[in-house]
Amino acid sequence: MVWDNNDRQRIYSGMQPSGVVHLGNYLGALTNWVHLQDDYNCIYCIVDLHALTVRSDGAQFRRKCRELFAMIMAVGVDPARSVLYVQSQVAEHSELAWIFNCYTYMGELGRMTQYKEKSQKHEDNINAGLFTYPVLQAADILLYKTNYVPIGEDQRQHLELSRDLAERFNKVYGEVFAVPDILVPKVGARIKSLQEPEKKMSKSDTSGDGAIIYLTDSPAAIRSKIKKAVTDSDARVAHSPDKPGVSNLLDIYAGVKRITIENALSEIGQCSYGALKEAVADAVAAELEPITQRYNDILADKAAMEDTMHSNAARAKTIAAATMRQVRKKLGLL
Ligand code: TYM
């Protein structure tokens, strides 16, 4: 396998097919996924099993998985260099998740912020999958003997559990799993809602579409959303906790331009809020336009995408199955 160069360490990350990819996903995770391909063996996953904690119609679910696959390719993940696959097509994830369930404590899962938030939001459907979600995530990561996991800040607690499980298992059975480290971007690790800048930009935001920039938004939609973004009454551009709206716009600008906050401030720090918003909107629209174009082209060739999906699942399965053979042997499973 050409991609799996032994001199390189392994990267693993995943994304839920639970809606259209937004700018938070892009700046917090995807841009990192793309450039890491130059230096690591990368494995990226559409984590459809994770998304089952929320009810969805089958046909719509399938469509969302395909769209996410196409979008990840459109931003620049190359399935010939990296592995890009769908979680449910590699059954080993579910198998290892069950085993890890038996090594994870209720207290550890009960402390998870995401579980607490999601069970408040979905009071009518607090299923066991929501509770054991981080265990499946640990299985995803550890199956591939991952060294680094590029994710946004909101996933830090889940990664800690993956590390703990790797160490716990290794302590009993010897070195089976690599203990993964987190990789969060310097800029863009926590992009906020445009309407409620104290909260993260999230697919499940209830304050409406104006709060979220989707990667498929037209330049006009991007401009209109950014123009209406909440700022504050003191018209001074600064990056500070008491100015969450303006700080978020600076994060977005620096993220899409791949510059530091200091450089962003020297470029647009003297602007009025109106001019600041215009500069941010221009930068975002310029970044996303070619991505949307590629996304539409990839989606148009369904057969080619389906082929890529299946051949990549087979590549992932080879690695996952080898790890599972080791795990089964250690546990004494016949
Ligand atoms: P998900 O699908 O919610 O998000 C995918 C990635 O996007 C990042 N992200 C953000 N980054 C910055 N600002 C935001 N507002 C923002 N919103 C989302 C997330 O941190 C994530 O990196 N549990 C994971 C999926 C998962 C996974 C894995 C990740 C399952 N198995 C194994 C890594 C490794 C999740 O729900 O991500």
C-alpha distance across the termini of the chain, in Å: 30
Q: Whose CA is nearest to atom 31 of ligand 1?
A: 137
Asked if 24 contacts 8 with a C-beta cutoff of 8 angstroms, the reply is: no
* Band of residue 32 on the pLDDT scale cut at 50, 70, 90: very high
Which residue in the list 116, 192, 199, 203 is annotated as catalytic? Answer: 203
pLDDT in tens, 74-108: 999 999 999 999 999 999 999 999 999 999 999 99
Segment 122-129 mean pLDDT: 91
Per-residue confidence (pLDDT) for residue 121, from 0 to 100: 85
**Whole-number Cα distances in Å, 175 to 160, 165, 220:** 18, 12, 53
pLDDT in tens, 229-253: 999 999 899 999 999 999 999 999 9
* Band of residue 122 on the pLDDT scale cut at 50, 70, 90: confident
Nearest of 22, 33, 14, 72 to residue 193 by alpha carbon: 22
Helices (H), the chain: 23-25, 31-36, 48-51, 58-75, 92-101, 106-110, 113-121, 128-143, 156-173, 219-227, 244-257, 261-268, 273-300, 302-331
Q: Whose CA is nearest to atom 26 of ligand 1?
A: 14
Angle, helix 58-75 to helix 302-331, in steps of 10 degrees: 100
**Whole-number Cα distances in Å, 203 to 48, 116, 206:** 15, 17, 9
What is the percent of the chain with per-residue pLDDT over 70, rounded to a whole number? 99
3-state secondary structure of 154: helix
pLDDT in tens, 202-216: 987 777 789 999 999
**11, 155, 161: which to mutate for ligand 1, most atoms within 8 A of CB?**
155
> Ligand 1 mean position to 27 CA, how many Å?
11
* Closest approach atom of ligand 1 to CA 189: 12
Q: Which two tokens stand for residue 326?
A: 């080791």
The conformation of residue 193, written as its DSSP 8-state character, comes to P
> Ligand 1 mean position to 152 CA, how many Å?
6
Question: Is 199 designated active site?
Answer: no
pLDDT in tens, 255-314: 999 999 999 999 999 999 999 999 999 999 999 999 999 999 999 999 999 999 999 999
pLDDT in tens, 55-70: 999 999 999 999 999 9
3-state secondary structure of 332: coil
Which residue in the list 64, 118, 145, 257 is annotated as catalytic? Answer: 118
What's the longest Cα–Cα distance across the chain?
69
Per-residue confidence (pLDDT) for residue 6, from 0 to 100: 77
Question: Is 200 designated active site?
Answer: yes
Per-residue confidence (pLDDT) for residue 1, from 0 to 100: 47
Question: Is 225 designated active site?
Answer: no
> Ligand 1 mean position to 329 CA, how many Å?
32
**Whole-number Cα distances in Å, 183 to 130, 146, 150, 155, 161:** 24, 12, 4, 11, 15
**13, 15, 26, 160: which to mutate for ligand 1, most atoms within 8 A of CB?**
15
**42, 154, 156, 252: which to mutate for ligand 1, most atoms within 8 A of CB?**
154
> Ligand 1 mean position to 21 CA, how many Å?
11
pLDDT at 31 over 60: yes
**Whole-number Cα distances in Å, 288 to 71, 197, 292:** 11, 22, 6
Q: How many residues does the chain have?
A: 334
The conformation of residue 190, written as its DSSP 8-state character, comes to T
Nearest of 33, 47, 16 to residue 79 by alpha carbon: 33
Pocket of ligand 1 (CB under 6 A): 12-16, 24-25, 27-29, 47, 50, 137, 140-141, 149, 151-152, 154-155, 158, 189-191, 200-202
pLDDT in tens, 252-265: 999 999 999 999 99
Q: Which two tokens stand for residue 73?
A: 């390719």
d(CA 74, CA 97): 30
Q: What is the mean pLDDT of the chain?
A: 95
> Ligand 1 mean position to 224 CA, how many Å?
26
Nearest of 15, 23, 24, 18 to residue 64 by alpha carbon: 18
Q: Whose CA is nearest to atom 22 of ligand 1?
A: 151
Strands 83-86 and 148-150: unpaired
